[in-house]
Amino acid sequence: MDVGTRRRRRERVASVPGRTGLSLDVRDRPLRDIDGFAFCRSLPERAGVVAVPNAVFYDHKDEGAPFVRFAFCKRTDVLDKAVARLGRLAS
């Protein structure tokens, strides 16, 4: 993948409301009472999008519990649909 393509893909995902880089703090989302694992489990049904709970990357899982990660290694049309779906979920 060339640098320009990678940058365009990253920029599409980075415009998701409430983002911190490519991670999202689910405490700021409509379902504030759930952690990243629960958010990720419910997301495919609620928005047709998947995410990874950041806690899997932490030695101390509780530190990563409120965060989820989105990937941008998809075609741009797929990213556009995902961003639109996440935007509807956030509103």
In which residue are the tokens 């991670």 written?
A: 23
CATH architecture under which domain 3-90 falls: Alpha-Beta Complex (3.90)
Q: Could you give the CA distance from residue 24 to residue 65 in angstroms, rounded to a whole number? A: 11
- pTM recorded for the entire structure: 0.69
pLDDT tens for each residue of 7-62:
777 777 666 666 545 788 888 766 666 789 999 999 999 999 999 999 999 999 99
- The token duo for 19 is 């983002």
Q: Could you give the CA distance from residue 42 to residue 46 in angstroms, rounded to a whole number? A: 6
Identify the residue with better confidence: 91 or 9.
9
pLDDT beyond 60 at 86: yes
| Beta strand segments in 1-91, E | 19-20, 23-25, 52-53, 67-69
